[in-house]
Amino acid sequence: MTAIVVKDLVESLDVGQILPPEYAQYRPLLADALCFFIERLPKRRLAGIIAQQLGLHSEASFAERALSLFHQCPTLHKLGQIVARDRRLSQPLRHCLQQLESVAPKTVLEEIPPKLLARLRSINGIQLSVQPLAEASVAVILPFVWRDSTGLDQHGVFKVLKPGVEERLGDELEIWGELGTFLEDRCERYGLPLLDYRETLDSMRLLLGQEVCFEREQQHLKEAAEFYRHDHTVVIPRLLPHCSARVTAMERIQGRKVTDTGMSSQACRHFAETLIDAMIARPFWALGDMALFHADPHAGNLFCTPRNQLAILDWTLVGRLEKGQRIDMMQIVLGGLSHDRGRICRALRRLGRTRPDESRLQDSVARAMKRLRQGSIPGFDWSLRLLDDIALSNTMAFPENLMLFRKSLLTLSSVIEDVASGASIDSILLSSGLRRFCSELPARVMSDLDSRALGTHVSNLDLMTLWVNSPNSAAAYWLGAWQDYLDLMSESGRPKA
C-alpha cells in the first residue's frame, strides 16, 4: 500500500520535468529514484510528507508540491539549491527552486533546545533577538547584538542546527548509501549508460554529512579569511567568541543576494567579474600545493554588501584542488592550443582516478579537437566540457575533489549568468592569468627550465615547446579541418555549398 501511495505522489509531482529536454531519457530513472528514497523514510516522516501533500489544494502547482517535499528533506533541499539556477531548466521551475536558496524562518525560538537557548541568552553582553533571521537546509540563523570594548553595538549571528535535523539527515544519508546500487540496476532495465552512481552518491553522502559539523566550518572560515586577506573586494564573515561544536558565532553581514542587487547592467557586469576572479581564478592560479575553493556557491551564500563587496557565506562545504591537478588542467589547455592530442591524453590519464578506456578516451579528445576547429576557444569552458564528456561516457573516473570542483563551477556559472548575462568566465580567467604571468616574470627568469612551481602552472619549457612546435600545430589543425570536410562529404554524399 505504501509503495502505491508513494508512486501516486511522485507521479503527481511529475518530478521528471526537473531534467532538461536533452536528458529526457533519464526522467523515468529520476522518478524511480525518488520513489525509492521516499518509501524508505521512517513511517512517521512518510506520513508527515503525505499529510502535507494532501493538505495542499487540488490545483497546487509543481512548485508548491516540490517545495513542500524539499523543505521536509534536508538532502533534497540541498540538491534543489544546487540546480536552482541551471539555465537549461524552464524559467518557472528555476524560480521555484530559487526559493530554497534563502528560506524565511519557520523555526521559532522556543523550538531551539532549551539548554542551548539558555546558554546563548546567558552570555554576558549579548542581546539575542526574539526572531530567527533565516533558515538553511540544516541550520537556523539567530541574530544578536553585542557591545565591543569601545562601547559600540555590533551585530552578529549564531548558527545552530534546526531542531531534529541530525536525525532526518541521518535517515536520508543511509538511504543514499543504498541508492547507487538501485540506480545501476535500473539503468540496465532502461538501457541507459551504466555510470558509477555508487561512487558519486557515496562522495555526495560524505559531503552532506559535513553539513552538521560546525567545528569543520569554523576551521574553513579561518582558512578562507587567510586566503582572501589581501583581497579588499571580498568579505569573509569574522568568527566571534562563543563558538562550539553546536554553535558558530560570527559577524552579521549586511547585504543582498548577488542576483538581487538592483544595480545597473554595467555595475552587474563588473560584479560578475569580481565573482569569477574571487571564486574561480584565485583558487585556480594559487601558488600553494592545495587551493581552497567554496563548494556550495548557490546564490543564497553569495551577498553583495552595501559597499559592493562580495560576501561569501556558509563555508561548511569546501574542496581543495591539488597543484598537480591544476598543472594537468593547464596541460590540457596547452594541448588544445597546439592541437596536440597526445599531450591532452597524457594529462587526462594523470587526472583520472581509474585507468581509461583508451578507445573512448581517444574519441572524446577527437570530439573536443573538432569543437576547436568549429570555433571553440581552448580555454576553461572547453576543457571542462571535455572532462564532462569523458565522465558521462564512462571512459574513466575522476577524483572526488575534481568532480566537486566541476559541480561547484556548474552552480556558480548559473549564478554568474543571472548576475550579468553573457559574462565570460574564460575571458576573466585569461586576464587574471596574464596578470599573474606578468607578476611572476622576475621569478620565471630565475626558475628552472622545467619548473611549474609558479602560479600559472606552466614551465618555461612548456612555453618554448609551444613556440617551436607552432608550425606542426598549424599543420595538425588544417589536416584535421580537411578530414572534417571529407567526413562531411561522406555523410551528405556531396560537398556543402
Rounded Cα gap, residues 177 and 314, in angstroms: 25
Cell of 330: 593547464
Residue 25 Cα to chain centre, angstroms: 24
Rounded Cα gap, residues 407 and 297, in angstroms: 10
63 close to 92: Cβ distance less than 8 angstroms: yes
Rounded Cα gap, residues 383 and 329, in angstroms: 8
- Taking CA 83 as the corner, what is the angle to CA 78 and CA 86, rounded to the nearest 5 degrees? 160
Rounded Cα gap, residues 305 and 233, in angstroms: 10
Long-range contacts of 481-489 (CB under 8 A, 24+ apart): 481/373, 484/370, 484/373
Answer whether CATH 3.30.200 is correct for domain 107-158+213-252. yes
In our burial notation (b when 16+ CB lie closer than 10 A, e otherwise), range 360-387 reads ebeebbeebbebbeeeebbbbbbbbebb
Q: Which distant-in-sequence residues (6+ apart) come within 8 Å of 271 by Cβ?
A: 258, 261, 263, 304, 308, 310, 419, 420
Rounded Cα gap, residues 17 and 91, in angstroms: 12
Exposed / middle / buried, residue 406 (Cβ in 10 Å: 0-12, 13-18, 19+): middle
DSSP 424: -
Rounded Cα gap, residues 418 and 269, in angstroms: 10
Q: Where in the chain is the domain with CATH 3.30.200?
A: 107-158+213-252
List, for the chain, all residue ranges whose pLDDT scores fall below the cut of 50.
Answer: 495-497
| pLDDT tens profile 118-153 | 888 888 888 888 888 988 888 999 999 987 777 788
Q: Which of 103, 140, 147, 141 is nearest to 124 (CA)?
A: 147
93 close to 145: Cβ distance less than 8 angstroms: no
Q: Which of 65, 73, 140 is nearest to 96 (CA)?
A: 65
Per the document, the length of the chain is: 497
Rounded Cα gap, residues 85 and 64, in angstroms: 18
Q: Which of 342, 340, 320, 336 is nearest to 374 (CA)?
A: 336
Q: Which of 213, 131, 211, 203 is nearest to 405 (CA)?
A: 203
Rounded Cα gap, residues 309 and 41, in angstroms: 42
Amino acid at site 204: M
pLDDT at site 497:
45
In this prediction the pTM is: 0.88
Cell of 308: 559592493
pLDDT at site 252:
94
Rounded Cα gap, residues 198 and 195, in angstroms: 9
Cell of 486: 571529407
